[in-house]
Amino acid sequence: MQTRKVLHIDSNHPLMIRELSLLGYENVEDYTTSKEIIEQSIHQYEGIIIRSRFKIDRQFLDLATNLKFIGRVGAGLENIDCDYAIQKGVKLIAAPEGNRTAVGEHALGMLLSLLNKLNLVDQEVRQGIWIREGNRGIEIEGKTVGLIGYGNMGNAFAKRLQGFDCKVIFYDIKDNLENQFAKQVSLHELQEEADIISLHTPQTPQTINLVNKAFIENCKKPFWLINTARGKAVNTADLVEALKEKKVLGAALDVLEYEKSSFENMFTENSLPEPMQYLIQAKNVLLSPHIAGWTIESKEKLAQVIIDKIKKL
């Protein structure tokens, strides 16, 4: 009987290895070998478990002649040529259910910190600076929060806004997604009403540069921006211009346009683009290193979701 082998390209929760073994798979862990070397043996594997170490493209898929499934331990599938994989009969498994709580809580935390200047005042107090009047915060109560994208992540954030006595609306390309947490509206209506705009979209050709100069100018009111989705959804140069012109009042960014495609690093070049240099210095900008879905609990949940979906293949 031929061994059913699964290749683990990125490290994950030990639950993944244990549960796949119980399902009869032989686990091969290779977290450092180059893509080119892996391609030489990929024909041996029935499954691949990956986060974002490299892109699974047509060449890779053509060499993976026995591949039955790819498990992406995360929400998005943009590092996989999905259409070609499906054409070849490969099942694609993502796990947005596994880190939606983490993303919802992180987005809320960033919003509260941004509106109350918590990151800024923390640094000031550590330097012996005690400013009260100049650091008055802004309340969420009475504001309209507009979400763009209303899948697992958008729902998780909307749910966590329920105790703040704010209005929550959303725009999504899919119809009939409205529930008890938020009202579905057109993009135009969202841009007319929102005081706070939060992105919860996957990376697709339609969402790259979604928030750009034209988008910002179409918003009726100055707004606060939160992005815990994908960095390329925001045109950074246009965002910086809007921050300078106070069309955007502040930004909380967990993801950045300049991230590496692996999401693992950004500060690897000799110099950063000028817009990024501005964001690092701006007092009304809050930054985190793509960790919105990155909790102790989500690591295990993501693995369990992948296992549960493999069991149903």
Q: For each of the chain's 313 residues, which pLDDT tens digit applies?
A: 467 999 999 999 999 999 999 999 999 999 999 999 999 999 999 999 999 889 999 999 999 999 999 999 988 898 899 999 999 999 999 999 999 999 999 999 999 999 999 999 999 999 999 999 999 999 999 999 999 999 999 999 999 999 999 999 999 999 999 999 999 999 999 999 999 999 999 999 999 999 999 999 999 999 999 999 999 999 999 999 999 999 999 999 999 999 876 566 666 666 788 999 999 999 999 999 999 999 999 999 999 999 999 999 8
Residue 311 lies in a domain: no
pLDDT of residue 311: 95
Domain membership of residue 312 (yes or no) is no
One domain for residues 161 and 195? yes
Query: Does residue 217 lie within any of the structural domains?
Result: yes
Are 25 and 150 contained in the same domain? no
Supply the pLDDT for residue 76: 85
Residue 210 and residue 277 share a domain: yes
Of 230, 241, 245, 257, which one is the catalytic site residue?
A: 230
**Shared-domain flag, residues 193 and 66:** no
Do 193 and 157 share a domain, yes or no? Answer: yes
222 occurs within a structural domain: yes
Report yes or no on 78 lying in a domain: yes
pTM over 0.95: no
Domain identity same for 231 and 128 = yes
Q: Are residues 118 and 189 in the same domain?
A: yes
Pick the last residue of a domain from 67, 94, 121. Answer: 94
Residue 305 lies in a domain: no
To the query of whether residue 230 is one of the catalytic residues in this protein, the response is yes
- CATH code of the domain in which 48 resides: 3.40.50.720
Q: Which of 94, 124, 141 is the last residue of a domain?
A: 94
Give the per-residue pLDDT at 3.
Answer: 73
β-bridge mates for residue 69, sequence order: 47, 91
290 noted as active-site residue: yes
Domains: count for the chain: 2
Report if residue 278 sits inside a domain.
yes
pLDDT value at position 280? 94
Q: In what order do the strands lie in the sheet with 47-50?
A: 25-29, 4-8, 47-50, 69-72, 91-93
> 14-22 and 296-311 are packed helices; what angle lies between their axes, rounded to 10 degrees?
20
Q: Please check whether residues 175 and 60 belong to one and the same domain.
A: no
Structure confidence at residue 52 (pLDDT):
86
Q: Which residues contact 29 (CB under 8 A, 6 or more apart)?
A: 8, 11, 17
Return the pLDDT at 292.
96
Residues 132 and 223 both lie in one domain: yes
For residue 270, what pLDDT is reported?
A: 65
Q: Is residue 124 part of a domain?
A: yes
Judge if 38 and 166 occupy the same domain.
no
Q: Residue 4 catalytic?
A: no
- Domain range for 213 is 100-287
171 lies in the same domain as 226: yes
Domain end among 46, 70, 94: 94
Q: In what order do the strands lie in the sheet with 285-287?
A: 183-184, 167-171, 144-148, 196-199, 223-227, 248-253, 285-287
Q: Catalytic residue, from 39, 105, 189, 259: name it.
A: 259
